[in-house]
Chain A
Amino acid sequence: MAMLARLGLEPGEEDFYADQLSAILAHIDRLREVDTDAIEPTAQVVQVGSRLREDLPEPSLPQERALANAPETKDGFFVVKAIQESEP
């Protein structure tokens, strides 16, 4: 689960979180008591109606502003380390 969320966990930590999560999940399991067969899930809590945007271009950020917060850039690109295709 931690890998799916890309959260690096140290070996000892796994147990710690597992315990806490179990307790929370046990509480959450109570939802099984509720009969929801005929109930629709809440799609949107308030009635909003379709909100679409007209197809008009707007100014983009200047490149420097877009890159300003990045830890590492090169020639206008963001830089990431070796990707390596092997699945985790």
Chain B
Amino acid sequence: MELLEDRLGVIEREEPRIHAFLRLSEELARAQAEEADRRFSSDAQVGPLTGIPVAIKDVLCVEDVETTAGSQILRGFRPPYESTAVARLRAQGAVFLGMTNCDEFAMGSSTENSGYFPTRNPHDPSRVPGGSSGGSAAAVAAGEAVFGLGTDTGGSIRQPAALCGVVGMKPTYGRVSRYGLIAFASSLDQIGPFTRTVDDAALVLQAIAGWDRRDATSVDRPVDMLSSLERGVEGLRLGLPREYFEAEGMEPGVRAAVERAVLTLERAGAELVDVRLPHTDYGLAAYYIIAPAEASSNLARFDGVRYGARAESAGNLLETYLQTRRGGFGPEVRRRIMLGTYALSAGYYDAYYLKAQKVRTLIAQDFERAFESCDAIVSATSPVVAFPIGAKVADPLAMYVCDVLTLGGNLAGLPGVSIPCGTSEGLPVGLQVLAPQWADGMALRVARAYEAASNGS
């Protein structure tokens, strides 16, 4: 309870500045904290997350708590069910602080596309926290929450983690159940933690990962995030993809910070290896076909009939659809729905969607080949540090470029961690570690080793 009160105090202080939360759930949090206290005093089932306050991204359904995916179209929606990841945290006794802000339906890289308001970077409130899970990243960075849950489709955990100076992880696709995650792109979405330390990230992932019979794409594999965590990088080979280091738009300060981090890892005993990911350039295009295509289908259910907002001025069903969706969806969402619809439409399916899925195979093969000569791949997470609010909103393509280094991991289903590695112009820079499918432990291990080496701890 003290921990909760402490965080609520931070929230009260920080929220007017950063607006990380869409809705606080104080009553629920207090009830859970009380329950946690009871557990502790009675020596009942107590775990590492019992009583720990968590910030939950507004795309993860929490039973009977208003969950809106950062969108006006789901205003007032209270799910009669809960996402599996959240349910597992609840079972562990975590304390739910509230729903954090995000780009609407997780579509964006700055949280400026939220249907409510933008969130601000705790390091500099005139700048974005990154996105789409900007709220959770900011909440953890500002000390409002001990950990946060976010989702990553093209980089939406790793990129805001980098921009806010916290640890963020996207597990292997299929590690964590997507049941109850309001879907954006079904074949790319994954849920993951925001934390201050790599140890904590491992603990959270350990708690939420694992097969779920309600998610046919979740995989039945043993979950072991902890046993290899402290092994260090001695003898490990770390791949440096040239295409990532030479990415268009990479800020010199970011590159410098990352290169310093890489040297730190080398000093800690890692062997540095050059690798090539030749199809990197096409990743953006493939992603911006696949994700919007799947999203256009996933968002078709928002019609104002069974839940969410509905346009009342409509005279007939067609009008209801059109006005509800026009009024409820913001411009980025509408843009992507149209893009996706186009990519799937008759006559274009082969040239776009099918083609993109084939390019995706090539990108996955790039990584497979690269991992033959290294144990993990390291690079910058984001080519830029946090940019000013409003700077990129007008140019969607410029915004999309923020994800060039992260979306490869989604396309190939790989686990990836972003860990703070210094600053550039006073703003946080993130180091990304990608590992082969199912080697989540390896990604965490390398990140942990860097953390230890750079802290001297």
Direct A–B contact present (CB less than 8 angstroms): yes
Chain A residues proximal to chain B, CB less than 8 Å: 1-2, 4-9, 17, 20-21, 23-25, 27-34, 36, 39-42, 44-46, 48, 51, 53, 61, 65-66, 68-72, 78, 80-84, 88
Residue in B80, B187, B323 whose CB lies within 8 Å of A65: B80
Give the most central of B315, B326, B364, B412: most A CB within 10 Å.
B326
CB of A6 within 8 A of CB of B316, answer no
Q: List 15 A-B contacts (CB under 8 A).
A: A1-B341, A6-B300, A7-B322, A7-B338, A8-B325, A34-B279, A34-B355, A40-B361, A42-B360, A42-B364, A46-B219, A69-B78, A70-B305, A80-B317, A83-B317
Q: Which residue of B lies closest to A41 (CB)?
A: B357
CB of B342 within 8 A of CB of A48, answer no
CB of B329 within 8 A of CB of A7, answer yes
Interchain CA distance A25-B351 in the complex, whole Å: 12
Binds A, one of B95-103, B132-140, B285-293: B285-293
CB of A23 within 8 A of CB of B296, answer no
Q: Which residue of B lies closest to A27 (CB)?
A: B285
A20 → chain B closest CB, angstroms: 6
A46-B172, A53-B213 as given contacts; A24 in contact with B288, CB under 8 Å: yes
Chain A residues with CB under 8 Å of B334's CB are: 7, 9, 17
Tell me, yes or no, whether B308 is within 8 Å of chain A by CB. yes
Residue in A4, A21, A48, A53 whose CB lies within 8 Å of B339: A21
CB of B341 within 8 A of CB of A4, answer yes
**Known contacts A30-B281, A30-B282, A81-B315, then 14 further A-B pairs from the complex at CB < 8 Å, ordered by chain A residue:** A4-B341, A5-B337, A7-B338, A8-B322, A36-B358, A36-B359, A42-B361, A42-B364, A45-B360, A68-B80, A81-B316, A81-B319, A81-B320, A82-B315
CB of B359 within 8 A of CB of A31, answer yes
CB of A40 within 8 A of CB of B322, answer no
CB of A9 within 8 A of CB of B326, answer yes
| B85-111 contacts to A (CB < 8 Å) | none
| B210-240 contacts to A (CB < 8 Å) | 213, 216-217, 219
B182 → chain A closest CB, angstroms: 14
B63 → chain A closest CB, angstroms: 10
Interchain CA distance A71-B102 in the complex, whole Å: 25
CB of A24 within 8 A of CB of B317, answer no
| B273-320 contacts to A (CB < 8 Å) | 279, 281-282, 284-286, 288-289, 296, 300, 303-310, 314-320
Chain A residues with CB under 8 Å of B286's CB are: 31
A3 → chain B closest CB, angstroms: 8
Q: Which residue of A lies closest to B188 (CB)?
A: A45
Interchain CA distance A42-B351 in the complex, whole Å: 15
A6-B321, A41-B361, A70-B306 as given contacts; A17 in contact with B335, CB under 8 Å: yes
Residue in B78, B279, B305 whose CB lies within 8 Å of A80: B305
Chain B residues with CB under 8 Å of A33's CB are: 282
- Majority SS of interface residues in chain A? loop
Q: Which residue of A lies closest to B333 (CB)?
A: A7
Chain A residues with CB under 8 Å of B397's CB are: 23-24, 27
Interchain CA distance A8-B362 in the complex, whole Å: 37
Tell me, yes or no, whether B201 is within 8 Å of chain A by CB. no
CB of A66 within 8 A of CB of B314, answer no
Q: Which residue of B lies closest to A5 (CB)?
A: B341
A24 → chain B closest CB, angstroms: 6
Residue in B80, B281, B338, B400 whose CB lies within 8 Å of A17: B338
Residue in A2, A51, A69 whose CB lies within 8 Å of B307: A69
CB of A24 within 8 A of CB of B339, answer yes
Q: Which residue of A lies closest to B323 (CB)?
A: A8
A86 → chain B closest CB, angstroms: 9
Chain A residues with CB under 8 Å of B284's CB are: 27
Chain A residues with CB under 8 Å of B279's CB are: 34
Tell me, yes or no, whether B122 is within 8 Å of chain A by CB. no
A1-B341, A84-B318 as given contacts; A71 in contact with B356, CB under 8 Å: no
A4-B345, A21-B335, A42-B364 as given contacts; A28 in contact with B285, CB under 8 Å: yes
CB of B303 within 8 A of CB of A6, answer yes
Chain A residues with CB under 8 Å of B355's CB are: 31-32, 34, 36
Chain B residues with CB under 8 Å of A41's CB are: 354, 357-358, 360-361
Chain B residues with CB under 8 Å of A30's CB are: 281-282, 285
Chain B residues with CB under 8 Å of A81's CB are: 314-317, 319-320
CB of B413 within 8 A of CB of A71, answer no
Q: Which residue of A lies closest to B334 (CB)?
A: A7
A48-B217, A69-B307, A88-B318 as given contacts; A61 in contact with B288, CB under 8 Å: no
